[in-house]
A and B are shown apart, each in its own frame.
Chain A
Amino acid sequence: MNNFMKLQFAAVSNNESFARVAVAAFVAQLDPTVEELTDIKTVVSEAVTNAIIHGYEGNPEGVVTVSASIINHTLHLNIEDSGLGIADVEEARQPLYTSKPEMERSGMGFTIMENFMDEITVHSGVGLGTRIQMIKQISNDLTQMN
């Protein structure tokens, strides 16, 4: 079964829960485990929060795009913004690194994304925005099927 969805929304913090619940509802058709679903909700929350805080620096006119594809029981997730971009992606991906310590950011967003998903690729350019692509295979336990 292959399937696709795409969402666009304003870069406001109210939409963080909307984005993760929407993606979780889309992924539900693969019968993921509770743990897999929580992993996916968490990484959506991390990437969307990054877009809002860092990409657009809180500018509500920014637009965040979330798209997800299901290809053979594998979830392909894209989260993009057209904001400021990241000058040094390697530095940003270091555990505990944050460019905004004064906002009490923990610097764990990318580490969580790397741990909860099978693959992550970050494309970013200063002034161009950031696109995070993540892949996760969803377990396909036939004994769970009716």
Chain B
Amino acid sequence: MSKQKLIEAMFQKMNDAVFFLKRNEVLYMNPKAMELISKFEVDLFNMPSICHVCNGMTNEKGYQTCSSCFIEGDKNLESFQLFLAKKNDTNSGDIPFSGSYFLLDELEEVNVLVLRNLTNQQETEKLQYQKSLTEYVIHASEEERKRLSRELHDGLAQEIYSALIQLQSMRYTPDFDKVKETASKVETIIVKSLNSIKSMAIDLRPAALDDMGLYAALKSYCKRYEETFGMEVELYSNIQSERFDGNIETMVYRVCTEALINAAKYADVEQVVVYLLAGKKQLRVEVMDEGVGFDLHNIHVKGSGLGLRNMEERISLLGGKVSIETSIGIGTKVLAVIPLEQEDNND
């Protein structure tokens, strides 16, 4: 077989869709490309440009964006990701493709676009991601149990034990003044134990969250946070005693405290600002610091990065979105926006 024939055969049989484009109009394509066009939202006779087909690509500007598109730039792109919509199917969402785009003939302005379906790969990635998230959640809950167990055993049990010893010694003390003295010691110990129990209960889930609502719970958390980490928190809010759905309150509280703890651990500043703003349609929480910031693409430097993912997961359960803006030396802003259900005026 001649080289020419081999190349022709490859063009016909390859699993990647290949398009030859002249100023974004299709000159030739291979069978796989035809198949792709038959399955996806592409009108062959009415295709002014590949943009008609593409639903955005993945680059540094976003997951699915049209800004700084490969078509517009003159650059040759070895590999990038873009999205196509399936025909007659609005439910399954856009399908990811890996593409490469390069200039073949400068004079004739002929470009080649190669597309490869990435669905399987993405499914695998998704599964992997789910797995790591599950592992993270299991690990976190196990750590929490460990901490509680240690606190119960080393803290509370010890205190009660020492109160018990004191009480036993009282039994055999004839001297009334001594008994009084020991009784006051026991009292001190029990007051301390009581405080430990209270603070453990608050750590687990603040009663304020259920009784007084999100703002009150956050406010009292901020006070404890200041004493724990030596950070000053400025909490601004336009809600006072308004209540939201229980799930929303819990998730927002957790996400907010997680973001605050991250700030205390990594930002290396003395102050953090929290905005909690409720509108008619949405609830916004912002946690901002002017600390050291970090590289969003390389979070593994300081941690697993799964804490951030966990926040995203929690908020997305409520149909909301988390965005993190950070740059080294400038600071970090965590913003969560949660849609509030519209109140039904019909009843």
Please determine whether chains A and B interact with each other in the same assembly.
no
